[in-house]
Amino acid sequence: MNILITGGAGFIGSHLAKHYVDLGNKVFIVDNLITGNKNNIAYLPPDQISFFEEDVTVFDFSTLPHIDIAYHLASPASPIQYKKHPIETMRANSEGAYRVLEQCKARKFDRFILASTSEIYGDPLIHPQKETYFGNVNPVGDRACYDESKRYAEAMTMSYHMTFDIDIRIARIFNTYGPNMELNDGRVVSNFITQALENNPITIYGDGTQTRSFCYVTDLVLGLVKLGETEDIEGEIINLGNPDEKTMIKLAEMIHEMTNSISDISFESIGEDDPKMRKPDIEKADKILNWHPRVSLEKGLIKTTEYFKKMLSK
Ligand SMILES: NC(=O)c1ccc[n+]([C@@H]2O[C@H](COP(=O)([O-])OP(=O)(O)OC[C@H]3O[C@@H](n4cnc5c(N)ncnc54)[C@H](O)[C@@H]3O)[C@@H](O)[C@H]2O)c1
């Protein structure tokens, strides 16, 4: 198959590219490296990878050959990065999605998979979050550039499906972690691990009672692939994440112990609109895709810590 991955030099995209390359497919990556890293894909065989260091808002997608599945992942994803690049984030999700969908409309690309996010639920008022929940989002807060552009991308994707009968699927991805995360990307798992390994204070924002549910990246990629390859599920929106919910205090303690760190745990003020709880309801993924995560948080954190140790020693 020919697979397109926008944002394929990023954390999740690079694992998705490896999955398809390992199975003998040809992978086309369009990534401007705003938050990605060429090293994430440098080891993949050049005869199976075509890398375009380009922005999805200007890249001429019509120059690509016929694509079987187009995964649209291009967008900064960590709060530090999207708050630093709000306009670029909004454009990657809105114009980027539109431009790839146009190729589907021209029947050059067969199928479109949108990497959406649990952030479209905002600071949720129901728990756990089901796909039918419409969310509780501040449209003008400092996370709005991400939340609202992903909501726009979902609406755009669904409009192309309803208007032009395009085969689309939407993944609502919950917090994912693992190797290939950038050391300084500012997400909680990478922050805690690097702070613990360097014996710097492990910083918790707020009182640490807020919860998140963490999915190991190889599990997430298998979910994305099932969403991309299962037949007769056009138009489906599916949560992908691990429902094993932890408070930030618990996560900090686990990482502290696992790394034998002598770091203190410190508390700092919390950002605007930070969700108090986050846990996917994955009944739909289980039923439609026969997918559920298999890697425990303990095992995933060990693998991620090994990766960060290597990165810090370079
Ligand atoms: N990691 C998570 O926990 C998580 C959770 C929910 C949703 N997602 C979504 O999954 C996707 C991948 O996330 P990630 O964690 O791998 O983030 P990432 O920042 O590591 O990867 C995103 C990639 O997109 C590229 N990119 C951004 N804007 C671009 C543009 N205009 N043109 C071309 N490339 C561009 C970046 O350079 C980067 O390589 C994103 O769409 C994100 O919103 C991730």
The answer as to whether 259 is a domain residue is no
The answer as to whether 189 is a domain residue is no
The answer as to whether 250 is a domain residue is no
**In ligand 1, which atom is closest to the CA atom of 215?**
3
The answer as to whether 25 is a domain residue is yes
The answer as to whether 312 is a domain residue is no
pLDDT at position 273: 74
How far is residue 138's CA from residue 90's CA, in Å, rounded to a whole number? 15
Can you give the CATH number for the domain in which 91 is found?
3.40.50.720
200-227: pLDDT as tens digits: 999 999 999 999 999 999 999 999 999 9
The answer as to whether 74 is a domain residue is yes
* pTM to 2 decimal places: 0.97
- Within 6 A (CB) of ligand 1 lie 6-7, 9-13, 30-36, 55-57, 73-77, 88, 92, 96, 115, 117, 173, 175-176
The answer as to whether 310 is a domain residue is no
The answer as to whether 197 is a domain residue is no
**Residues making up the chain, counted from first to last:** 314
Q: Is residue 146 annotated as a catalytic residue, yes or no?
A: yes
Number of domains in the chain: 1
Mutational pocket test of ligand 1: of 41, 73, 116, 152, the residue with most ligand atoms within 8 Å of the beta carbon: 73
Domain enclosing residue 286, as ranges: 2-175+217-242+280-294
Sequence-ordered alpha helix ranges (H) in the chain: 11-22, 79-84, 86-105, 144-164, 188-197, 217-229, 248-258, 283-284, 297-313
pLDDT at position 277: 87
The residue whose two tokens read 């805690």 is: 192
Q: How far is the CA of 260 from the centre of ligand 1 (A)?
A: 31
DSSP bridge pairs for 117: 173
Nearest CA residue ID for atom 32, ligand 1: 55
Q: Pick the catalytic residue: 20, 71, 82, 146?
A: 146
How far is residue 252's CA from residue 203's CA, in Å, rounded to a whole number? 9
pLDDT at position 185: 85
Beta strands in the chain (DSSP E): 2-6, 26-30, 49-52, 69-72, 111-117, 167-173, 176-177, 202-205, 211-213, 215-216, 237-240, 245-247, 265-268
Nearest CA residue ID for atom 23, ligand 1: 7
**Which residues of the chain have a pLDDT value below 70?**
none
154-183: pLDDT as tens digits: 999 999 999 999 999 999 999 999 999 998
